[in-house]
Amino acid sequence: MSFFFNEPPLDDDIEMIRAQVRRFVEDVVVPQGEQWEIDGHVPREIFRQMGELGFLGMSVPEDCGGSGLPATAAVMFAEELSRSTFGGFASSVTVHTDMSLAHIVKRGSEAQKQRYMPAACAGEKIGAICVTEPNAGSDVAAVRTRAVRDGNDWVINGSKMFITNGIHGDIFIVAARTNPDARGSRGLSMFIVERDTPGFTIANKLDKHGWRSSDTAELYFDDVRVPADNLIGEEGKGFYYIVGTFQHERLLVGGLCAGQCSKAIELTLDYVKTRKAFGKTLWEQPVVRHKLADLAARAAAARALTYQCARMIENGQDTIIDVSMLKAYAAETLQQVVHGCLQLHGGTGYMTGTPIERMVRDARILTIGGGATEVMLEEVAKRM
């Protein structure tokens, strides 16, 4: 990445995988991405191809069918996926690899791991995380979906909203309240619900401002009966499992932002060095050069913080404050970068279908999803 000067190299194995992922993105994703935007989803075959290349199991332990690579590898992966300029594709894949099935990896029983993870790593089954509801987003404690024990089963009733991979998912990780008398964050549990379970309905495919190549759905649970063995971890610990996974999710947002920032600046550099105005290329105008230099500095800072947080996680350090800062700073920096780059593209950047226009739309959700900027700043403030 040409403007990230003197960046510390990652392990040789991770850099080798970076080159492989980047080649896959350039050769397979970019040529087909426009069609996926129209279709509203990433084809299953792409997941299978990525599974065959070992991309979907990088963060999964070897005994679950993965490679067991550290947090820096997950950041690298998110970074390279987002350089495709198709944010929906990047979100579909990372929700599958790091935000849904991570619950099984971290808290699942051995039987659950053996049943679900090999197929997930192979791209044969697609994962989705079902926490958000019409009245519960960043406020996880407000989840109303209920699960009631009935003999050897749990019976789930409720609904979920804005679920990525909701249309084409196979393995749904569902947050539900198992103790209706518990206050707030207490009494939530996590369950595995398979796609063809009776009573489980994929109700509506949702149309979105951006991330158009990812499928997003509203889901209904009407007396959905799942075996007691489908409970992930301990009953009543779901809130803590969700919050724990949030740290990794927000770290990945840093990677997504870093990749989009770098690609947006690269695209803009290419444009301003050829586009002429007032007898000179735009690049020869100091105001343009200085603007891009400023955006590059902000992007480099966000990326550095991302990898710093990844290394902290690898070292077993508490990263709640750091990752909350990262999520807020990287997502807001991305807004500055892509809007600044669109400005320098002029009217061309405003045309639907151009990469920079698509990146502006796709970037917007990252200040909202995974914890809104305002929530992240409150997480920092209350620990200051």
Q: How far is CA 302 from CA 222, 257, 331, 334, 383, in A?
A: 43, 8, 9, 9, 21
What tokens appear for 138 in the block?
Answer: 């960043």
C-alpha 39/C-alpha 304 separation (Å) is 35
The single residue of 133, 249, 332, 379 carrying the catalytic annotation is 249
- The DSSP H or E segment spanning 119 is helix 110-121
User: Tokens at residue 299, please?
Assistant: 């992007």
DSSP type of residue 94: H
Find, among 141, 131, 134, the residue nearest to 175 by Cα: 131
Note if 249 is an active site residue: yes
Rounded CA separation 257/120 (Å): 25
The residue assigned the tokens 């509801």 is 133
Dihedrals φ, ψ of 254, to 5°?
-60, -45
Q: Decide: helix, strand or coil at residue 192.
A: strand
| Ramachandran category for residue 140: left, alpha or beta (phi over 0 → left; psi -120 to 50 → alpha) | alpha
Active site residues: 249
